[in-house]
Amino acid sequence: MLNRKVMDISGVSNVESFDNEEFLLETECGFLAVRGQNLHMKNLSLEQGMVTIEGLVHSLVYLDGSAAAKSKGLFGKLFK
How far separated are the first and last CA of the chain, in Å rounded?
34
Backbone φ and ψ for 5, nearest 5 degrees, come out as -120, -25
**Residue 21 predicted with pLDDT over 90:** yes
Backbone φ and ψ for 47, nearest 5 degrees, come out as -65, -40
The amino acid at residue 80 is K
Q: In this predicted structure, what is the pLDDT of residue 64?
A: 76
Burial of 55 (0-12, 13-18, 19+ CB in 10 A): buried
- CB-side neighbour CA atoms (13 Å) of 52: 5
Q: In this predicted structure, what is the pLDDT of residue 29?
A: 87
Instruction: Quick: pLDDT tens for 26-67.
Output: 999 899 999 999 999 999 999 999 999 999 999 999 987 654
pTM of the model: 0.76
